Amino acid sequence: MPVTAQARSLTRRRLLPCLALALGLGTSSVAQAQAQAQAAGGSAPAAWPTRTIRIVTGFPAGSATDGIARALAEHLRNKLGQPVVVENRAGANGSLGVTEVVRSPADGYTILATNSSSITVNPQVYRKLGYLPERDLVPLSMVVSAPFILVVNPQGERTGAVNSVADLIALARAKPGQLTYGSGGPGNLAHLGFAMINNRTGVSTTHVPYKSGVNAQLGLIGKETDMMLDTPVTLPNLRSGKLKALAVTTTTRWRDLPDVPTMSEAGYPGFDLSFWLGLLVPAQTPPAIIQTLYGALRTAREDPNVMRQLLAQGTVELTDPAAFAARIRTETAAWGEVIRRENITLD
């Protein structure tokens, strides 16, 4: 039976966008496929996106998560041809931002920018939480990973003479319960990390939770606390002398602090703690939209300005959705073991 022109046009309209997505082409290639279909006499399918996209983060302006959200918002705007705005819904260790996203339509117009603790730890330590990551979210890309940096205030009344991890532990032993450490809130990885330090060294220090890591950092600079596990965004504070780095929490030294030892090198072997910052979308977001978003995101490596901003937050990963999902599963299980082993509880 002969194939009519109408049938050929219908076939082109149906197959070209699917073929482009299946091959993992970027959005420009999808647009080219649609234009070719139109030139051949067919009409292109409805385009996406057609309006503003928002990236919601559960952390304030100036935080590491906010930093990656703003860098990628500009990149996505250029790649997708629509405005991309960042909304800060800070509070509850990122939970407010996550909850906002899981309640949003799964249409690709709302993206979550968050850190690892809100996804891998919160569900295991908070009894009342408005979301379950495995049920309510789909991973899009792990953007960066980074170590924590153990820092003190060199102008602090108690920590002025502290120059090493050994000095800090000796001081904590001499003043049980008196040294304080800040974090971005109960259940934050910086909180759990210090609980690990306390348990492994046999010291007692007091947790002071803040609304965010940025607030905890300001509290340390203002001498409200004695120490904290900070992120690479604190590098300007280290270079200016406002804070002093004692160690990094990964098994290798941090590229931007080559003279700062790891916790293992400082005398506490087996201590390995890092975090990631990444993007997720509501569950049920169409796979074609996820593929389009990731196709646009991965080209960030080709943009020197975006890479400069991302590198300021950590090691650029930009993993694909499947690899990111596997990382979340692995870390969720690992943190569950740590929480039980270290007997970490929240007030």
Residue 299 corresponds to which tokens in the numbers above?
Answer: 């080209």
Mean pLDDT for each consecutive 10-residue tract of the chain (347 residues)?
Answer: 40 39 37 36 59 96 93 97 96 91 97 96 86 97 97 96 97 96 90 90 94 92 97 95 97 95 94 94 97 97 96 95 96 88 68
Per the listing, tokens 């219908």 go with 10
Q: What CATH architecture is 149-248? A: 3-Layer(aba) Sandwich (3.40)
pLDDT of residue 126: 83
C-alpha span between 311 and 156 (Å, rounded)? 30
Q: Which CATH number fits domain 53-145+277-341: 3.40.50.880, 3.40.50.620, 3.40.190.150, 1.10.10.10?
A: 3.40.190.150
C-alpha span between 113 and 278 (Å, rounded)? 6
Phi, psi torsion values for 278, nearest 5 degrees: -155, 180
C-alpha span between 317 and 155 (Å, rounded)? 36
149 burial type by CB count under 10 A (0-12 exposed, 13-18 middle, 19+ buried): buried
How many H helices and E strands in the chain?
Answer: 14, 11
pLDDT of residue 75: 97
pLDDT of residue 338: 81
| CA-based end-to-end distance of the chain | 75
pLDDT of residue 288: 96
| Contact present, 73 and 84 (Cβ < 8 Å) | yes
3-state DSSP percent of the chain in helix, strand and coil, to 5 = 45, 15, 35
